[in-house]
A and B are shown apart, each in its own frame.
Chain A
Amino acid sequence: MLKKIIFQFLALSLIFTYSAQSAESGGMPQLNPEFWISQIFWLVLTFGLLFIILSKFILPKISNNLETRKSQILENIETADKQREETEKKVKEFDKIINDTKVEAKNFFNSERQKVLDDINNKRLSLEKDIEKEIIKAEEEIDQLKKTSQEKVTKIAIETSSDLIKQLIGEDINKSSLSAIVEDLSKKEMEKHNGI
């Protein structure tokens, strides 16, 4: 079909050219038919080659490129959508995990605090008990010491007084009477001392 069309259009142009050749141009070089055939020949040649090369080799490549790009972009959009959904899911999971761990941490913290407080309480109580025991013991010791010291003091007082009397008078005196006197005196002293 293309051959037919080209042939027909060449024939038509030839007719056109010969009919116009008689009209010699004055001012416009366009109307000078000297190179018309040459122009037509070269136009058909260059435009024909351009058309053939473009339609056979170059345009299919460009359209192919456009198609592949389109499909690739669509694919990429699809995968991007998928990945976005996945990330949304993951973000939700993460949020859940973070919330859970927060709650867990709170619970753990509370229980540990309770434990520590209990421990402290227990230790304090036992310590207090120990301290009380120690205090009671010490008080008992003090009491004993008080009693024994009084007895010792009276003994020492009796012995020293008997020694003094022996030195002064040169005679032994009944110890029981002496002790009675010393006790009596010390009692008075103690009463004075204690303010009773």
Chain B
Amino acid sequence: MAANPMYQFNVYRIGPEIKINNIDISFTNASLFMVISSLAILIIFNLGTKRSIIPNKIQLLAELSYSFISKMISDTAGSKAKPYFSFIFSLFMFVLFCNMFGMIPYSFTVTSHIIVTFVLAAFIFIGVTIIGFIKHGLGYLKLFVPSGVPMVLLPLIVVIEIISYLSRPISLSVRLFANMMAGHTMMKVFGGFVVSLGIVGGWLPLGFSVALTGLEILVAFLQAYVFAILTCIYLNDALNLHH
């Protein structure tokens, strides 16, 4: 491994180059970890579907996650968001597992790439906007006109609201990407300090590294949760137009 802390984010091809119409869609290490995360989710939750009254550990895990996300959705987006449960569940689990697999040394963090998080966020943004227009028609544009604002301020407020609405996918994607990248870079930098300071001075950065690992596991969960809950909040805006 190179000493460069950014080296861990390199994407490289695994296996042959696959090209369709001159577009490179080769299998890479990023693809590998996406597949691993998805398979892990499917295996764990498939093991958790046994029909028993007293659940075993994996079943308990699956059912607790189910009720956790179900409660999160009903708390933030209300009962109208029930049909979108599967999507938010998959989203949360995918981001969580990608983050968590990234915590394994020498592995690759899928969510530390802006393109991945941006595609997810853009999909959510477009989907939510479409849902909003389907549910409320052009009335969805009232989202940009908050009630109780003086007429003088209205043009300014509308512009600000539109900008904040349009910046949602960017903030959503950059938040996850930056958190994952920064954490992993920090760990790599401290790991490099351990090596360069040797057996005498390396203990302090080693301790930092250990503490950072714990922090990063927390961040990995928290960012997945934030990603999911922000999706719920956007969905809530689209489903229950308050203004």
- Chain A residues with CB under 8 Å of chain B are 1, 4-6, 8-9, 12-13, 16-17, 27-44, 46-47, 49-51, 53-55, 57-59, 61-63, 65-66, 68-69, 72
Q: Give the residues in chain B near A5, CB-CB below 8 Å.
A: 123, 126-127, 130
Q: Give the residues in chain B near A63, CB-CB below 8 Å.
A: 66
Query: Quick check: A54 and B28 within 8 Å, CB to CB?
Result: no
- Cα–Cα distance between A50 and B59 once the two chains are bound (Å): 19
Closest approach, in angstroms, between the C-beta of A82 and any C-beta of chain B? 20
Closest approach, in angstroms, between the C-beta of A40 and any C-beta of chain B? 5
Flag whether B104 is at the interface (Cβ < 8 A): no
Query: Quick check: B23 and A31 within 8 Å, CB to CB?
Result: no
20 further A-B contacts with Cβ under 8 Å, apart from A51-B87, A58-B42, are A5-B130, A6-B123, A9-B123, A29-B11, A31-B114, A35-B28, A37-B23, A37-B24, A39-B30, A42-B28, A43-B120, A46-B35, A47-B94, A50-B38, A50-B94, A54-B42, A54-B86, A55-B87, A58-B49, A59-B45
- Cα–Cα distance between A68 and B49 once the two chains are bound (Å): 13
The 8 A-B residue pairs whose C-beta atoms are closest, nearest first, are A55-B86, A42-B31, A61-B49, A46-B34, A41-B25, A51-B90, A50-B38, A35-B11
Flag whether B237 is at the interface (Cβ < 8 A): no
For residue A38, which residue of chain B has the nearest CB?
Answer: B25
Closest approach, in angstroms, between the C-beta of B213 and any C-beta of chain A? 22
Q: Give the residues in chain B near A34, CB-CB below 8 Å.
A: 11, 24
List 6 A–B pairs whose Cβ atoms lie within 8 Å, in order of A's numbering.
A38-B28, A46-B35, A47-B38, A59-B86, A61-B49, A66-B67
- Which of these, B27, B30, B90, contacts A55 with CB under 8 Å? B90
Flag whether B113 is at the interface (Cβ < 8 A): yes
- Which of these, B13, B41, B67, contacts A54 with CB under 8 Å? B41
Flag whether B62 is at the interface (Cβ < 8 A): yes
Query: Quick check: B63 and A62 within 8 Å, CB to CB?
Result: yes
- Cα–Cα distance between A55 and B7 once the two chains are bound (Å): 37
Task: Kindly state the interface size class of chain B when it binds its partner.
Answer: 35 or more
Query: Quick check: A37 and B11 within 8 Å, CB to CB?
Result: no
Flag whether B163 is at the interface (Cβ < 8 A): no
Q: Give the residues in chain B near A50, CB-CB below 8 Å.
A: 38, 41-42, 90, 93-94
Interface residues of B in 87-138 (CB under 8 A from A): 87, 89-90, 93-94, 110, 112-116, 118-120, 122-123, 126-127, 130
Flag whether B141 is at the interface (Cβ < 8 A): no
Flag whether B202 is at the interface (Cβ < 8 A): no
- Which of these, A12, A30, A55, A62, contacts B126 with CB under 8 Å? A12
Closest approach, in angstroms, between the C-beta of B43 and any C-beta of chain A? 10
Q: Give the residues in chain B near A6, CB-CB below 8 Å.
A: 123
User: Assuming A39-B11, A63-B66, is B86 touching A53 (CB within 8 A)?
Assistant: no
- Cα–Cα distance between A59 and B49 once the two chains are bound (Å): 8
Query: Quick check: A29 and B10 within 8 Å, CB to CB?
Result: yes
- Which of these, A27, A33, A36, A62, contacts B49 with CB under 8 Å? A62
Query: Quick check: A27 and B86 within 8 Å, CB to CB?
Result: no
Q: Give the residues in chain B near A44, CB-CB below 8 Å.
A: 119
Q: Give the residues in chain B near A69, CB-CB below 8 Å.
A: 53
Q: Give the residues in chain B near A55, CB-CB below 8 Å.
A: 86-87, 90
Flag whether B181 is at the interface (Cβ < 8 A): yes
Closest approach, in angstroms, between the C-beta of B238 and any C-beta of chain A? 13
Flag whether B46 is at the interface (Cβ < 8 A): yes
For residue B9, which residue of chain A has the nearest CB?
Answer: A29
- Cα–Cα distance between A87 and B57 once the two chains are bound (Å): 36
